[in-house]
Amino acid sequence: MMTPKENYMAVTRGKKPDQIPIYATNMIEFLHFYYDVPLKTLLDDPDIHVDVTARSVQEFGFDCVVPGIAFILFGCGPEIGVQWEFLGDNLPGTVGGLINSEDDISKITIPNSPSGYFFNYIQILSKLNKRIGKRVFVLGFVLGPFSTACFLRGIENTMLDAVDNVELFKKYIPLGVDFSIYFGKNVLEVGLPTCPLLEIFVSPDLIGSEYYHKNVAPYDNQVCSHFEKAGLTVPNTYSPFMGNPGDKESQRVGRDMYDYFWGTKESIEVIRRAIKHSIPGYPGIISMSGRMLVEWSADDIMDFLKEALKLLVKENQMYPAIRLASLQTASREEAQDVAEKLKMIIDIAHSYPL
Amino acid sequence: MATQDIYDAVIQYNGKGIADLVQAELDSGTDIEILLKQGLISPMDKIGQDFSEGELFIPEMLMAAKAMKKGLEVLRPHLTQTASKPKGTVIIGTVHGDLHDIGKNLVTMMLEGAGFKVIDLGVNVETKKFIDATNEHDAKIVGLSALLTTTMPAMEKTVTALKKEIPGIKIMVGGAPVTQSSANKIGAEGYGEDAPSAVKLAREFI
């Protein structure tokens, strides 16, 4: 009998698992409402974050879990000088970057060791891995250079600088690379099975392939190859979605794959289109967004899931993972409703004949 | 022909020379209405259409809007002296509890590019501020933005209060956690999936 972790690892290798695994990510708001813990506590107290995450794994039977999905935790928190503001019981937002002019760049230094919210993130990953990591696949992210630059300089400024103020962009993006390597070093030390590069502000909906390959990919590649040289892997999970520059067909396929993996447009048709292609290291996926879990009726969700499983498992001999792409809820009532739906989803997945 | 140069400057994200081009056209006596519509609004429509069709993306939209704004700044003092009136006034802001503004900023730029007067209240905007600004500017449209799922109740609260205080007001909502279904549920008249669709909605509302 495979452990949940082995089930998940089997599908990432295209092998037959004992049961269809469940991959849960982006669930901080769900944990907040469902277990009645203030969001700020989940960010400030790694022990509580680990407790509620482990409880959710126990209660719902997740096979793979991605804890700590909150931008402030990824390394560009107030500990490096980026200004954040907390308003009510909501996730915080940035209110000021560090780079307002060229002179500011030289004042920014890479820390020697994690502190503040990044320290909390490392603690969350490390403690959760110690607690459930033998049985459950725990995944952590390494913030990529472009997204780091967006926090240091502001999103709009960074996006514009890359084309409009190239000289300045070229002066601060190496700092993004250095920070990303520093984040990666600390996340990898936790000893998780994989730690992909996370470019929060990069998706085929937001930026084009040409822009990506000119202004993002070269710096992502610097980070990935830095670790590769040391025999470590930080996979760049965004690049497959961006297509090749000048190649409209590959860009269209990339967008299809993005919709498929991220559950941005759940439909059987999206799955049917996407499974004509494959991305090495990715399992077949049935992505279900928080939007779907909140707005669709339980019957509609179950019908979709059964049809998707039939398409992938029976008709295409694939072993998918069910990816709960964003367990985001806006109230306790919504969280309870989603929890009921989750239990039904997991019952179907774990008992589906393979 | 020179109006075409202004159009091209926006389409090509060339903000450097656009102010001079607009000024030169003004000096040569070109009709302000033509300059605005053909030189600035028309290219932004094209940018919006290309964005909706996945041909352009956020950096390009930001660049085009930046160029358009530079042209509009030259034109603006003259607009008030002529019969040329904005299409309508839109009050816009990110709802209370939410500090995220890139979506709101894009909608603001695109609405301005479409000839609307936009009063941007910024982020973390209290319901009362939306109501006061709508009354003060006699606006017929309000745009609410949110990124955080947990601020959806604040959005609902603002929609409810606006509709109660200002009968007939048209409200459009947008942002990552918002969908057509949630917009319907909270009583908003429109849901904009992206900035160009917000412009389309605003045009329908006027």
Residues of chain B with Cβ-Cβ distance to A32 below 8 Å are 150
CA closest to A327 among chain B residues: B149
Residues of chain B with Cβ-Cβ distance to A330 below 8 Å are 149-150, 152-153, 177
Does residue B97 sit at the A interface (CB-CB below 8 Å)? yes
CA gap A332, A144 in Å, rounded: 33
3-state secondary structure of B173: strand
Residue A216 — pLDDT band, cuts 50, 70, 90? very high
pLDDT at B80: 67
Does residue B177 sit at the A interface (CB-CB below 8 Å)? yes
| % of chain A residues with pLDDT over 70 | 99
Residues of chain A with Cβ-Cβ distance to B99 below 8 Å are 85, 87, 92-95
Interface mutation vs chain A, best among B56, B57, B100, B156, most A CBs within 10 Å: B57
pLDDT tens digits, one per residue of A54-84 = 999 999 999 999 999 999 999 999 999 999 9
Place of tokens 């067909």: A249
pLDDT < 50 regions, chain B: none
Q: State whether A160 and B102 contact (CB < 8 Å).
A: no
Q: State whether B97 and A32 contact (CB < 8 Å).
A: no
CA closest to A164 among chain B residues: B63
Average of pLDDT values for A4-19? 93
pLDDT of residue A161 exceeding 90, the answer is yes
Residues of chain A with Cβ-Cβ distance to B97 below 8 Å are 87-88, 90
Q: Which residues of A touch B (CB under 8 A)?
A: 29, 32, 39, 85, 87-95, 155-156, 159-160, 162-164, 205-208, 211, 255, 290-291, 295, 328-331
pLDDT tens digits, one per residue of A198-215 = 999 888 989 999 999 999
C-alpha separations of A319 from A15, A16, A17, A169, A288 in Å: 7, 6, 7, 43, 16
Does residue B150 sit at the A interface (CB-CB below 8 Å)? yes
CA gap A351, A345 in Å, rounded: 10
Residue A280 — pLDDT band, cuts 50, 70, 90? low
pLDDT at B83: 58
Which H or E element spans position A321?
strand A320-324
pLDDT at A96: 84
Of B15, B97, B149, Cβ closest to residue A87: B97
Does residue B125 sit at the A interface (CB-CB below 8 Å)? no
pLDDT tens digits, one per residue of B154-199 = 999 999 999 999 999 999 999 988 999 999 999 999 999 999 999 9
pLDDT tens digits, one per residue of A110-143 = 999 999 999 999 999 999 999 999 999 999 999 9
Average of pLDDT values for A244-251? 91
Angle of helix B102-113 relative to helix B195-205, nearest 10 degrees?
A: 50
Average of pLDDT values for A19-31? 96
Q: State whether B99 and A331 contact (CB < 8 Å).
A: no
Q: State whether B153 and A85 contact (CB < 8 Å).
A: no
Calculate the CA dihedral of residues A41, A45, A46, A47 and round it to 10 degrees: -100
Highest mean pLDDT of the ranges A8-12, A219-223, A248-252, B82-86: A219-223
Q: State whether A330 and B97 contact (CB < 8 Å).
A: no
Of B54, B177, B179, Cβ closest to residue A328: B177
Average of pLDDT values for A305-327? 93
Query: In A144-291, which ranges are E strands?
Result: 197-198, 284-288
CA closest to B13 among chain A residues: A164
Q: State whether B177 and A291 contact (CB < 8 Å).
A: yes
Residues of chain A with Cβ-Cβ distance to B63 below 8 Å are 160, 163-164
Place of tokens 């390394």: A75
DSSP one-letter string for A328-345: --SSHHHHHHHHHHHHHH
Q: State whether A159 and B62 contact (CB < 8 Å).
A: yes
| B173 φ/ψ angles, rounded to the nearest 5 degrees | -125, 155
Angle of helix B42-52 relative to helix B195-205, nearest 10 degrees?
A: 120
Residues of chain B with Cβ-Cβ distance to A208 below 8 Å are 56-57, 59-60
pLDDT of residue A145 exceeding 80, the answer is yes
Residues of chain B with Cβ-Cβ distance to A155 below 8 Å are 102
Domains of chain B: 4-79 (1.10.1240.10), 89-205 (3.40.50.280)
C-alpha separations of A216 from A40, A80, A94, A179, A238 in Å: 32, 22, 21, 15, 10
